[in-house]
Structure 1
Amino acid sequence: MSKQELVVLGQTDGVAVCCPGLLTAPLNEDQAGELAKVFKALGDPVRLRLLSMIASRAGGEICVCDLTPAFDLSQPTISHHLKLLKQAGLIDSERRGTWVYYRPVPEMTDRLAGVLTRPTGEPLPQSAGAAS
């Protein structure tokens, strides 16, 4: 792993360590720090749109040449946003000649969904002082 890559949701040496769901157990400090890096990458509207465009593309991948025209931003700025999404482990890329093709990392999007999903059939925790 390069020094620029982020450790993502407990991945160590390519082995993912799953975080508990937010609604099932509190995150420890390390888990919260790792998860915050991913949410920080998603905290920008351009990056969120880029991930959406990549993830929803028929065939599972999209050329950077198809992403750039959708934004009123320079190509280097789009490349920077894509780099941050890649460092967060949300997308992967492959260079083919002049162009770079991007695809989502399903394990990461599934892991994020799992962190944010309440186990089936379990009620939400009641807040203190809530009416019964």
Structure 2
Amino acid sequence: MTTHDTPAAGDVSPLLEPLKALANPVRLQVLQWLREPEEHFPVDPAVTDPRAVGVCVSHIQAKTGLAQSTVSAYMAVLERAGLVRSTRVGKWTHYRRDEERITRLVEELRLGIGDLNPAELLHS
């Protein structure tokens, strides 16, 4: 079974890689920014469509203030987890969210750990 398959009942192993990727606050923040790229990154429709092609890694790097190599490593983790997709445009790599995979992940979480009441989490 790959990490992108729907887990069998009780099998939470496909959830581990995406959850590890999201455990890093910067990676989680980048994924949130990519949800509404026009609000968080410079957009030049003449160059690329941020929803169809994605946001250039250099824009992500500038917004995070981290080294380019760190941002590239973070984006590779998100891509291996299936949360983003990359597209090359010339010498630049652009990233966009994989909305279908994120939707499946949310469903896998619901099936894997069940519906959780936030009050139950506070008392566990």
Of Structure 1 and Structure 2, the greater helix share is in 2
Which structure has the larger Rg?
1
* CA apart distance, 1:9: 3.7
From 86, 89, 92, the counterpart of 2:85? 92
From 65, 69, 77, the counterpart of 1:76? 69
* CA apart distance, 1:116: 4.0
Aligned length: 101
Match of 2:10 in 1: 27
State the TM-score, normalizing by the size of structure 2: 0.69
Residues 56-76 of structure 1 deviation map (CA, whole Å, 9 limit, x = unaligned): 214412111211111231000
Aligned pair in 2 of structure 1 residues 54, 76: CA closer, same or farther (>3 Å)?
Answer: same
- Identity in percent: 29
What do you get for the CA RMSD once the two structures are aligned?
Answer: 2.5
Residues 62-116 of structure 1 deviation map (CA, whole Å, 9 limit, x = unaligned): 1112111112310000000000000001101111112111111111111122234
Matched, 1:109 2:109: no
State the TM-score, normalizing by the size of structure 1: 0.66
Structure 2 residue runs of 5 or longer lacking an equivalent are: 39-49
Q: Secondary structure at the match of 2:3?
A: coil
